[in-house]
Amino acid sequence: MTSLPQVHLVDDDPDVRAGVSLLLRSADFRVRSFADATGLLQAITPETAGCLVLDVRLPDMDGLALQARLQERGILMPVLFITGHGDIPMAVRAVHAGALDFLEKPFDDRVLIDGVGRALEVDRRQRRRREETTALRRRLDALTPRERDVLQGLLDGKPNKRIALDLDLSVRTVEIHRSHLMHKMGARNASHLARLVLDEGAAGYGEEA
Amino acid sequence: MAGQPLTLHRRRTPAVPIAPMGTLLLRSLVLVSLYYAVALWGFLFTPDPNGVALVWPATGVGLALVLLHGPALLPAAALAAGLVSWQFHLEMMPLAQALGTTAATLAGVALGARLLRGLGFSPRLERVRDTALLLGVGALAASALAAAAGAWGLALGGRELDFTGTWWRCWMADLTGLMLVTPALLTWLDPHAPPLRAGVTGGWGMPLLLVTVTILVTGMTYSPLLPPALAMPLSYAVFPAILFSALRCPLRITTGLILVSGAIALSGTGLGFGPFADMGQTTGLLSLNAQLALLALTGLLLAALRAEREAERERARRHLDELARAGRLSTLGALSSGLAHELNQPLCAVSSYAQACRRLLARGRLQELAETLERLEAGTRRAAETVRQIRSFASGQAPPRHTLDPATLVHEVEALLRPELRRRGVHLVLKLPEGIPPLQGTPLQVQQVLLNLLHNAMEAAEGRQPAQVCLELRREGKALVFIVTDTGPGIPPQRMERLFEPFATWKRGGLGLGLSISRDLVEAHGGRLSARNPPRGGAEFRFDLPLEDPHDVPAASPSGGR
Instruction: Tell me chain B's radius of gyration from C-alpha atoms.
Output: 34
Write down the pLDDT at residue B143: 66
CA terminus-to-terminus distance, chain B: 37
Cβ within 8 Å of residue A9, ≥6 positions away: A17, A20, A21, A24, A31, A32, A33, A34, A53
What's the whole-number mean pLDDT along residues A158-165?
A: 88
Q: Which CATH architecture group holds A143-208?
A: Orthogonal Bundle (1.10)
Q: Is the pTM of this model over 0.80?
A: no
CB contact under 8 A, B344 and A22: no
Neighbours of B212 (CB within 10 A): 11
Same domain, residue pair B327 and B186: no
- Give me the amino acid identity at B125: L
Q: What whole-number distance in Å separates Cα of residue B443 and Cα of residue A10?
A: 38
CB contact under 8 A, B353 and A84: no
Residue span of the structural domain in which B37 resides:
13-192
Going by pLDDT thresholds of 50, 70 and 90, the confidence category of residue B511 is low
Whether B464 maps to a domain, the answer reads: yes
Among the ranges B163-167, B385-389, B526-530, which has the highest mean pLDDT value? B526-530
Residue B36 has pLDDT above 80, yes or no: yes
Closest by Cα among B249, B246, B123, B244 to B196: B249
Going by pLDDT thresholds of 50, 70 and 90, the confidence category of residue A44 is very high
**Which residues in chain B are closer than 8 Å to A86, comparing Cβ atoms?**
337, 340-341
Going by pLDDT thresholds of 50, 70 and 90, the confidence category of residue B138 is confident
Which pLDDT tens digit goes with each residue over B536-554?
A: 889 999 999 888 654 444 4
A111–chain B Cβ distance below 8 A for any pair: no
What's the whole-number mean pLDDT along residues A33-39?
A: 92
CB contact under 8 A, A106 and B379: no
CATH fold for the domain made of A6-131: Rossmann fold (3.40.50)
A117–chain B Cβ distance below 8 A for any pair: no
In a 3-state reduction of DSSP, which class is residue A128? Answer: helix
Closest CB to B360 among A20, A26, A82: A26
**Which residues in chain A are closer than 8 Å to B347, comparing Cβ atoms?**
105-106
CB contact under 8 A, B359 and A109: yes
Whether B557 maps to a domain, the answer reads: no
Going by pLDDT thresholds of 50, 70 and 90, the confidence category of residue B211 is very high
Which pLDDT tens digit goes with each residue over B342-385?
A: 788 888 899 999 999 998 899 888 888 888 898 899 889 888 88
Residue B429 has pLDDT above 90, yes or no: yes
Closest CB to A105 among B337, B348, B353: B348
Whether B210 maps to a domain, the answer reads: no
CA distances from B168 to A193, B148, B270 (A): 137, 9, 19
Residue to mutate among A7, A13, A15, with most B CBs inside 10 A, is A15
Going by pLDDT thresholds of 50, 70 and 90, the confidence category of residue B561 is very low
What's the whole-number mean pLDDT along residues B503-518?
A: 65
What's the whole-number mean pLDDT along residues B16-34?
A: 85
Write down the pLDDT at residue B8: 41
Asked whether B394 and B328 are in contact (CB, 8 A), the reply is yes
Write down the pLDDT at residue B551: 46
Return the H-helix or E-strand segment holding B81.
Answer: helix B74-84
A89–chain B Cβ distance below 8 A for any pair: no
Residue in B with minimal Cα distance to A112: B352
Whether B203 maps to a domain, the answer reads: no
Q: Where would I find the beta strands (DSSP E) of B414-497?
A: 427-431, 439-441, 468-476, 479-486
Of B131, B159, B192, the domain-final residue: B192
Asked whether B69 and B27 are in contact (CB, 8 A), the reply is yes
- Tell me the percentage of chain A whose pLDDT exceeds 70: 92
| Domain containing residue B400: CATH number | 3.30.565.10
**Which residues in chain A are closer than 8 Å to B372, comparing Cβ atoms?**
22
Query: To 10 degrees, the CA torsion angle through B85, B87, B88, B92?
Result: 80
What's the whole-number mean pLDDT along residues B154-166?
A: 62
Give the residue, A77 or B228, on which the prediction is more confident: A77
Domain ranges of chain A: 6-131, 143-208
Whether B227 maps to a domain, the answer reads: no
Q: At what angle do helices B251-270 and B238-248 cross, to 10 degrees?
A: 160
| Domain containing residue B109: CATH number | 1.10.1760
Write down the pLDDT at residue B162: 65
Closest CB to B349 among A19, A25, A109: A19
Write down the pLDDT at residue B387: 85
CA distance A48 to chain B (A): 26
Name the pairing type of β-strands B468-476 and B427-431.
parallel
Name the pairing type of β-strands B540-546 and B528-532.
antiparallel
Residues for chain A: how many in total? 209
Which pLDDT tens digit goes with each residue over B245-294?
A: 999 888 999 999 999 999 999 888 878 888 888 776 667 777 888 889 88
Cβ within 8 Å of residue B510, ≥6 positions away: none
CB contact under 8 A, A106 and B351: yes
Write down the pLDDT at residue B553: 42
Asked whether B209 and B244 are in contact (CB, 8 A), the reply is no
Closest CB to A15 among B340, B356, B382: B382
Residue in A with minimal Cα distance to B351: A106
CA distances from B451 to B62, B242, B277, B433 (A): 58, 48, 71, 20
Of B144, B168, B192, the domain-final residue: B192
Residue in A with minimal Cα distance to B362: A26
Asked whether B315 and B265 are in contact (CB, 8 A), the reply is no
**Which residues in chain A are closer than 8 Å to B345, comparing Cβ atoms?**
13, 15-16, 84, 105
Return the H-helix or E-strand segment holding A109.
Answer: helix A109-142
Asked whether B538 and B487 are in contact (CB, 8 A), the reply is yes
Q: What whole-number distance in Å separates Cα of residue B80 and Cα of residue A72?
A: 104
- Tell me the percentage of chain B whose pLDDT exceeds 70: 82
Going by pLDDT thresholds of 50, 70 and 90, the confidence category of residue B555 is very low
**Which residues in chain B are closer than 8 Å to A109, comparing Cβ atoms?**
352, 355-356, 358-359
- Tell me the percentage of chain B whose pLDDT exceeds 90: 22
B279-296 in b/e burial notation, b at 16+ Cβ within 10 A?
A: eeeeebbbbbbebbbebb
Write down the pLDDT at residue B93: 61
How many domains are there within chain B?
A: 2
Of B136, B157, B192, the domain-final residue: B192
Give the residue, B113 or B162, on which the prediction is more confident: B113
Pick from B139-148, B297-306, B480-489: least confident: B139-148
Q: Where would I find the beta strands (DSSP E) of B110-196?
A: none
Using alpha carbons only, what angle is made at residue B146 by residues B140 and B148, rounded to the nearest 5 degrees? 90
Residue B139 has pLDDT above 50, yes or no: yes
Name the average pLDDT for chain B.
81
Q: Per-residue DSSP letters for B235-261? A: TTTHHHHHHHHHHHS-HHHHHHHHHHH
Whether B521 maps to a domain, the answer reads: yes
Q: Per-residue DSSP letters for A133-160? A: HHHHHHHHHHS-HHHHHHHHHHHTT--H
Closest by Cα among B465, B395, B398, B390 to B427: B465
CB contact under 8 A, A86 and B422: no
What's the whole-number mean pLDDT along residues B308-313?
A: 89
Q: What whole-number distance in Å separates Cα of residue A175 and Cα of residue B293?
A: 140
